[in-house]
Chain A
Amino acid sequence: MTSHGIKDQVAIVGMGCTRFGERWESSASDLLVDAASDAFASAGIERDTVDAYWLGTLNSGFSGMLLSTALKIDYRPVTRVENFCASGSEAFRNACYAVASGAYDIVMAVGVEKLKDSGYSGLTRANPPSDGTGTTLTAPARFSMLSPAYSAKYGVAREDFKRAMTRVAWKNHYNGARNERAQFRAEVPEEKIASAPPVAGDLGVFDCSGVADGAAAAVIVRAEDAHRYTDRPLYVKALSFTAGPGTGTYDPRYDYTTFAETVRAAGDAYAQAGITDPARDLSMAEVHDCFTPTELVIMEDLGLSERGAAWRDSLDNRFALDGELPVNPDGGLKSFGHPIGASGLRMLYECWLQLRDEAPSGRRIAPRGKRYGLTHNLGGGPGECVAFVSVVGAERG
């Protein structure tokens, strides 16, 4: 497979991100107007400056008209993108390519999800008509299958793995408590996390990301034009995406301790960005902590932990705000909830703040590595998912 990447060809020059949470007062359109307006203001532009839009949403609306009707866009292209939990990141990736291709000068990627209006717990979606033989499991149940498999493979006591899961939740809530945009803004004691009511397998309520509404947006231009809009643009170093063959649920070789989709996406992204040692080169990572064991496995899939070591690294606080490599400094899906279409761009927003020294002092990370930030999503479940990895950096070159 050939993947040339577009390192340093495009840059983010403005971003917006709403407060995430139970936004009973706001519709999906309202959230889009808020995020887009903030991004316009951040880039110092007006709506009509933007040539084209990419909109990520799972099912808060259909077609580009969800955005064009909200913003009253005058007959410009709006591409609606859906790729499971990577929908927001996919909007961003394709918007970047449109600028890199020379087709447009300035574009916006925006993602939104309005989950709370459904009245249901957890995520729901409309499925195509089927023969009824597909899985009936909820997302937490599917991801909870990582835990016994990981424990068995690496000889880790289930209690120790659970302690590592608990530490992930504790860390992300600690970070989220320092973020005004987060859904949950309180630190949670580990005892409370560990003893929360069971949801699925070893997962308690606090091992699961919340259900929230939210939106986020980014304005993207050619790298050479970036300084027209801001003194501190964020350069796109790598964009990668994989859709897996989905064979894990019926291939006995799949062992439920890894997401090959993430491994492949990360390998491609690191090659594009020129990263040889991600744990050394990155300053931070925003990863898809939909459930706490997912974050542990992701650490290994991204090469930030050795295989079989993420649980120990977690307990050693290696990925804490003041740890060796801060992971989810904004609080992650744990603190923000997971409005599907918005999450990828919300992660990017934390890179935007941290790498440009705009993060509030309470959660500002120490400068390290190449001042690169990584964002990661996966969508689907173990053995059958899509994965996205981006790398952005504060400096060109």
Chain B
Amino acid sequence: MSPGSIGILGFGTHVPYWRLRGDTVAAALGKRGGRGSRAVAGSDEDTTTMAAEAARHAVRSAGGAERIDALWLATADPVYADKANATAVHAALGLPGRVHAADLAGSVRSGVAALLAGLHYPGATLVALSDRRNGPSGSPDEAGGGDAAAALVVGQASPDGPVPLLAEFLGCGSATAEFLDRWRRPGQPWPDSWEERFGERVYTSLAEESLDRALKASGLTAGDISRVAVTGPSARAVRSAGTRLARLGVPDGAFADDLTSRVGNTGTAHPGLLLASMLERAEPGDVLALAVLADGADTVVFRVTGAIAERTRVPSVEDGIARGRDSLSYADFLTWRGLIRRQQPRRPDPDRAVAPASARSETWKFGFAGSRCAECGTRHLPPQRVCLECGSRDRMTAEPLADTGGTIATYTVDHLAFSLAPPIVAAAVDLDGGGRFSCELTDLDPAELDVGTRVEMTFRLISTAGGIRNYFWKARPAREGTPS
């Protein structure tokens, strides 16, 4: 590895808890069969919250937020237009104001674009890729799509510092073309597609061109590749491109599981998910190639370093897959996507979160920072000005608590409250090291709850009202692979 080389400093992923099985969809539509399962964002998740979860892991994996200079959020399913979504992720991570945050949004190609741009941006860039894929009822795009997020911290290793490169960036190759394979106008729920055989032919040639350029840029041959992953919105094109790459000399055993049978094709997020998955299985010295077929082809090549073995462990792709629950009904899936409207309890709509109050409480609402009394050490969530214990005024220091675990003191299941995914489950959570957070719980089966259950924090959507997304933190049962 040469001095000043760039590459991957950390990575993290978020695979949602819910799975929709292919046979569940088929049965609901009166058909037989249906294979695999896809990851489905909870009713309290969107591309912004998923990106924030993945980015939290990535930042921890890269040794903390201090070195981050920019944050780019790439998604084909942005929550807001005109307003940046990356700023909510920035706030959820508690990043300092000096860190530039912006969206690359609209096309699936924005995912690999963010990665390439990050690799070429001075300083360390947090690249968050997030997507939520839809298709018409019964279509391969619906059952074979997926929802997930992946985040990478890319840039230069600190000269003598504590953050080594996990994988060195060797080169990339692009091949861009204008043709119609999948397209969607803003506001439409899912893309239209042209006959797959057309895109297949175009993509296969583009894949070859981009690999060729990437190998030249890296000074390698196809036979040097230890692991390769190919992804793109068209499954047929991905298969054919794989065959072409093999014919060009990429070793047979190098083709990585593309995860589509277990999480679906997560679109913009998928390149990041596959890169993370390859890194999690890699040995030092491995050459990893990633080919993304989205309105052209882009191939990036990395060499894994010795630091991969000593990296900070965060929940892996396999951890995320393993914690999935595949009992989601097709009706609930459609409800959460807003594709069918169900009867709600006779309760008022949620209030919208207002702009000035949300801005005032940014470090709490987004950053989950409580306050600790400098006089007596008592912790408060939400932050207070007056200490509940000693009554001191304005003697508080902010304390970020998103990575602090907790224990359920008492809880309830609310069948009456408004929710797209009733019932709402809530608890008083006593945090490790002091303080109590009363909050909603998510990603769980209420039957698994009891006083004493261990939980972790997660950034979620509480409600949407007046077109405003109300983001805040919830707790969910703690799982393997999370800090205790």
Q: Which residues of A contact B (CB under 8 A)?
A: 119-122, 124, 127, 129-133, 135-138, 140-142, 144-146, 148-149, 152, 197-201, 245, 247, 249-252, 254-256, 383
Give 12 pairs: A residue, B residue, CB < 8 Å, sorted on A: A121-B347, A127-B351, A129-B356, A131-B357, A131-B358, A131-B364, A136-B350, A198-B413, A199-B415, A200-B415, A249-B428, A251-B436
B352 within 8 Å of A (CB atoms): yes
In-complex Cβ contact of A132 among B351, B380, B415, B417 (8 A): B351
Quote the shortest CB–CB distance from B369 to chain A (angstroms): 12
B residues in contact with A133, CB < 8 Å: 353, 361, 364-365, 382, 462, 472
Contact with A along B407-438 (1 / 0, CB 8 A): 00111111111100001101010100011111
Main SS at interface, chain B: mixed
Quote the shortest CB–CB distance from A160 to chain B (angstroms): 16
Residue of A nearest to B469 (CB): A132
Residue of A nearest to B378 (CB): A251
In-complex Cβ contact of B414 among A131, A138, A245 (8 A): A138
CA distance A382 to B437 in the complex (A): 14
Complex contact A129–B417 (CB within 8 A): no
CA distance A305 to B345 in the complex (A): 37
Complex contact A138–B346 (CB within 8 A): no
CA distance A248 to B63 in the complex (A): 36
Residue of A nearest to B471 (CB): A132
User: For chain B, which range describes its interface: under 10, 10 to 19, 20 to 34, or 35 or more residues?
Assistant: 35 or more
Residue of B nearest to A127 (CB): B351
Complex contact B417–A250 (CB within 8 A): no
B28 within 8 Å of A (CB atoms): no
B107 within 8 Å of A (CB atoms): no
CA distance A122 to B347 in the complex (A): 8
A-B interface, 6 closest residue pairs, ranked by CB to CB distance from nearest: A132-B353, A141-B414, A132-B470, A201-B412, A131-B357, A149-B410
B447 within 8 Å of A (CB atoms): no
Complex contact A129–B357 (CB within 8 A): yes
B residues in contact with A129, CB < 8 Å: 351, 354, 356-357
B residues in contact with A136, CB < 8 Å: 350, 417-418, 424, 426, 440, 462-463
B388 within 8 Å of A (CB atoms): yes
Quote the shortest CB–CB distance from B406 to chain A (angstroms): 10
Complex contact A132–B416 (CB within 8 A): no
Quote the shortest CB–CB distance from A120 to chain B (angstroms): 5
B451 within 8 Å of A (CB atoms): yes
Complex contact B451–A141 (CB within 8 A): no
B residues in contact with A132, CB < 8 Å: 351-354, 357-358, 365, 462-463, 470-472
In-complex Cβ contact of B435 among A120, A245, A252 (8 A): A252
Quote the shortest CB–CB distance from A366 to chain B (angstroms): 38
Quote the shortest CB–CB distance from B19 to chain A (angstroms): 26
Once A132-B470, A145-B411 are accepted as A-B contacts, the answer to whether A252 and B434 lie under 8 Å apart by CB is yes
B residues in contact with A251, CB < 8 Å: 388, 436
Complex contact B388–A245 (CB within 8 A): yes
Complex contact B436–A252 (CB within 8 A): yes
Complex contact B358–A137 (CB within 8 A): no
CA distance A138 to B416 in the complex (A): 7
CA distance A251 to B384 in the complex (A): 12
Residue of A nearest to B414 (CB): A141
